[in-house]
Amino acid sequence: MGRLDGKVAIISGGARGQGEAEVRLFAAEGAKVVLGDVLHDLGEAVAADVGPDSHYLPLDVTDPEAWQAAVAETTSRFGPPTVLVNNAGVLQFGVSTIDTTLEEYMRVIGINQVGVFLGMKHAAPAMIAGGGGSIVNISSTNGLAGYGGTVAYTASKFAVRGMTKTAALELGRHGIRVNSIHPGGVDTPMTARDSLGGTITEEEQNAAYAMLPLGRPAQPAEIARLALYLASDESSYSTGAEFIADGGMLAGVVNPEV
């Protein structure tokens, strides 16, 4: 028996990286999984590889009609969703608040913040009709502390943290739990290239991760396993909470002399 037997999950940003790891793990644990993304070829390939218990559909998370269609197709194909993972996101780094343009700022906010809002708004009624479930919102350590050069990303991830708590208060009486995950650095394509197309060099990555107690980035599967726990009934008394998987990033500063 799988830990998600009988569950129907929608996972945004499921075509690669952390989202793909969630899709594969959820399906392996018994869930029917609908993955949405704007990377159509990659998404279709993941769904084909996972098999008949998964389905890919185009999903621009900033588009309300796309969310409505995703929920309707999920319900038609597998039944009402009982799990929603708002995973889709983009990263902008290395740009000061002064130098960030409004267009750049709003692009990040649209995907990372508005996308989560729309996902909850349109999936929750179907989840209520289906008897409840679990919403997992992917935030970041940037939703708990600031980091220079990431004003739009940090703002969006703090917003995800706040929306999670508000939704948990509103949806608890309907049997829906809402929690947020706050990863530190994760070894995915998103962390290797920001939303403006800039690349992070291997040297820069190594220097950043060397300061963590664990000395390395997370692998996507490590975050997916935390999402699995929150999607499953094992976390039945957890809602409105923050779950951190950051390799010790927020614990403090490593002193290499000790």
Residues recognised as catalytic: 153
Q: What is the Cα–Cα distance from 183 to 180, expressed in whole angstroms?
A: 10
What letter would DSSP give residue 188? S
- Ramachandran angles phi, psi of 253, nearest 5°: -105, 130
Q: What is the Cα–Cα distance from 185 to 205, expressed in whole angstroms?
A: 9
CA 5 to chain centre: 21
Residues in CB range of 236: below 8 A, 6 or more apart:
177
CA 64 to chain centre: 18
Q: What is the Cα–Cα distance from 25 to 35, expressed in whole angstroms?
A: 12
Q: What is the Cα–Cα distance from 29 to 220, expressed in whole angstroms?
A: 17
Residues in CB range of 122: below 8 A, 6 or more apart:
64, 67, 68, 70, 71
Q: What is the Cα–Cα distance from 84 to 211, expressed in whole angstroms?
A: 33
Q: The tokens 């409505």 sit on which residue?
A: 68
Q: What is the Cα–Cα distance from 60 to 115, expressed in whole angstroms?
A: 8
Residue pair 118/64 in contact (Cβ under 8 Å)? The answer is: yes
Half-sphere exposure of 51 (CA within 13 A, CB side): 9
